[in-house]
Amino acid sequence: MQIITPGDKKFESLVNRGGQGKARLQKKVAHILEKVREEGDPALLRFTSKFDKVVMTRKDLRVTEAEISGAYQDIKPEIVNTLKEIINNINKFYTNQVPRSWSMKHESGIELGEKFAPIEKVGVYVPSGTVPLVSSVYMTVLPAKIAGVKKIVMASPPNKYKSIDPHILVVANLLKVDEIYKVGGAQAIAALAFGTKTVPKVDKIVGPGNEYVTEAKRQVFGYCDIDMLAGPSEVLIIANHHANIEYLKKDLQSQAEHHKGLSILVTPSKKVFNALCDDSDINGYIIKVKNLDEAAEVSNKIAPEHLQLMVKSPKRLLRKITNAGAVLLGQYTPVAIGDYIAGPSHVLPTGGTARYSSGLNLRSFIKSSHIISYSRKALSSSASWVRELTELEKLEKHWESVKERCE
């Protein structure tokens, strides 16, 4: 492990790891987006042939009912039961997040409130490289479903057989995804953002992906909403002498399974530091601090995606944590539990963005409208305040719209 010290250049580089996009990548992605926006399906098929090495027609783009039925024959029956149990866990968690519209009345004739409504159409991107990321399906679709999203459209790259992994199709079917398309990369994001003759335009795009997908999401923001710009997976572990060294090793090593995964250990314990600082099997960083208070400060500056608190009283330390995508408490809560089965989505802010953003949740699929109602009496009693501000901002017509009602 690489040893770094709070405040040195390596530490500051770690804190500011988000960085800027690469100019060549931005240009390539912009070209893909422009062509799909201008040409629609022909561009989509051309890029699929170029990048995925799969030649398809327009009819091949959408997954059929027959393909979904066939997918059930290609997986082990017991995996379906496992998925149903996990779905039940996630349902329980997100049901508690459902916001309710509210209003409050004043005696003066003023009524204020907030109305919540689900986003109408959401696009879910599911990566599928060497292995199917099945968990990304239920971690993105379920909160959208519980929020009440009317239409969910999924996109995932096709394999050489012009299909999508059967596990992904089965999970999508169990969750009643409305439409599934065999398209990946930046071209999939373009299709969802702009729409084509085959792929419908959506209001928001969610789900992780490679650097092309992430850059495409950044560039289409404004045409539609996005969840976040997710980078490589991260874990920061705060551990003291109570932590099990073998558990720490396995948890730090697990991030190496992710492409460019980042592992950081912060500890005030000489025992833990000495046991792991020279471990060449762990590709990551180790930071020695004075105490757990300083450990919390360091963690808040780094703002990790996953934060594990492997100390005797994790809930006490949790009070000092302000910046983290997900916090996992105690010796028996590794990142894998949060990634797969606990309930909360594993789509979390990375690159230090946990300083100002949250993980994907039910509220990610809800929008709110402010509700305002004034009686004539209430308007008249407040008119002088409006007059002062419209004079200050030189917006006379604004004042006249109030004055007309008061006379």
399 CB-side CA count, 13 A: 13
Rounded CA-CA distance 339/135 in Å is 8
Q: Is position 306 annotated as part of the catalytic site?
A: yes
User: So what's the pLDDT on residue 120?
Assistant: 98
| 100-121 average pLDDT score | 94
Every domain of the chain and the residues it spans:
2-19+232-358, 40-226, 375-406
The residue from 305, 388, 396, 407 that is catalytic is 305
Sign of CA dihedral 365, 80, 331, 268: negative
Lowest mean pLDDT among 249-258, 266-275, 302-311: 249-258
User: So what's the pLDDT on residue 26?
Assistant: 94
Q: Is position 305 annotated as part of the catalytic site?
A: yes
CATH number 3.40.50.1980 given to 2-19+232-358: yes
Calculate the CA 213 to chain-centre distance: 13
CA angle 123, 48, 25 (to 5 degrees): 80
Rounded CA-CA distance 402/147 in Å is 38
Q: Is there a shared CATH topology between the 2-19+232-358 domain and the 40-226 domain?
A: yes
Rounded CA-CA distance 208/223 in Å is 19
Q: Would strands 179-182 and 204-206 be described as parallel, antiparallel, or unpaired?
A: unpaired
Rounded CA-CA distance 278/228 in Å is 36
The residue from 67, 306, 391, 393 that is catalytic is 306
Least Cα distance to 317 among 297, 339, 340 occurs for 297
CATH code given to domain 40-226: 3.40.50.1980
pTM: 0.92
Least Cα distance to 338 among 323, 348, 353, 350 occurs for 348
Structure tokens at 311: 């100390």
| 145-170 average pLDDT score | 95
Q: How does pLDDT run across 322-367, given as a tens digit for each residue?
A: 999 999 999 999 999 999 999 999 999 999 999 999 999 999 999 9
Rounded CA-CA distance 313/320 in Å is 12
CA angle 371, 206, 55 (to 5 degrees): 140
